[in-house]
Amino acid sequence: MSKRSYAQADPRAVSAKRSDRMRAVLSIIHDSESVSLPALARDLGVSSATLRRDLAALEEQGLLVRTHGGARALDTESELPVRLRDTQFHEAKRSIGQQAAAMVPPGPYAIALSGGTTTAELARALRGRAELTIVTNALTIAMECATSPQSKVIMAGGLVRSKSFEAVGPIAESIFHSITVGTAFIGVDGISADGGTTTHDETEARTNNAMVTNARRVVVVADGSKIGQVRFAKVADLDQVDDLITDPSADATELELIERAGVKIHVVEPVSER
């Protein structure tokens, strides 16, 4: 059974410790399909009361179903909640973001950023860059970039997805179709030689495709867990992608196949914060 990725969640803050525990709960339930509360408490070393709160929160987000005395798996193809994803593969995502920032040339330049935790790391790495125009449809990234007075931030509007905090649909697409940027940096849920770049939501995929279409260069930023994955909706074929930035955990065989399709591969080592 393939390793599960899980859907994005509501915007309530989740501590790093609780994030790790909730991911562990999801992993155990996914591997076992169902599990009892005493078994979870034993495996994770926490109280039953704490686990009941975690299970209630995860059920509310549609990630599992609570049963009498435990829980069972619901959907093996949903995405990880956005607040839980914030701490997942964080060092790899930060290094990928820094490498992507190094690809942005100095002087007047325009980029587009899709939503996602890896593109958010890129936004942080671009703080203080002068003469930079950033176009994004992600509320979280717009807020991150807006704290830098040296940059100009353009927010593409539309219907906001509560799961990802991205504006999607015809309004956002029309904005991306009306502009041209030097580079579009795209976060994806999957990239493979056979499937191209994909995501879980078809409306998000169409909006990101509009972002790709009017960019002179397209860079996909994806940690190793996304390599070789094919999700529900296609964003773009590989012949529309110029570069892929990932980390050493990516499947080497799949990277070679993607490279053969004409995509330049950049593998960056995760670097811990000091």
User: Residue 8 has what pLDDT?
Assistant: 40
User: Could you count the other beta carbons within 10 Å of the beta carbon of residue 269?
Assistant: 10
Which domains, and CATH codes, for the chain? 16-84 (1.10.10.10), 89-267 (3.40.50.1360)
Average pLDDT taken over every residue of the chain: 87
pLDDT category at 79 given cuts 50, 70, 90 is low
DSSP classification of residue 225: G
Element (H, E) at 43: helix 37-44
Show the CA angle centred on residue 161, arms to residues 228 and 125, nearest 5°: 65
**pLDDT, tens only, 195-226:** 999 999 999 999 999 999 999 999 999 999 89
The answer for residues whose C-beta is within 8 angstroms of residue 15's C-beta and 6 or more apart is: none
User: Residue 208 has what pLDDT?
Assistant: 97
pTM, rounded to two decimals? 0.74
Q: How many Å apart are CA 41 and CA 32, to the nearest integer? A: 15
Alpha helices, H only, 47-105: 48-60, 82-85, 90-102
pLDDT category at 128 given cuts 50, 70, 90 is confident
Q: Give the closest residue to 124 by CA, choosing from 72, 157, 86.
A: 86
180 or 30: which leads in pLDDT: 180
**pLDDT, tens only, 90-117:** 889 999 999 999 999 998 999 999 999 8
Q: How many Å apart are CA 56 and CA 71, to the nearest integer? A: 10
pLDDT(29) > 90: no
User: Residue 204 has what pLDDT?
Assistant: 95
The answer for residues whose C-beta is within 8 angstroms of residue 64's C-beta and 6 or more apart is: 25, 26, 29, 55, 58, 71, 72, 73, 74
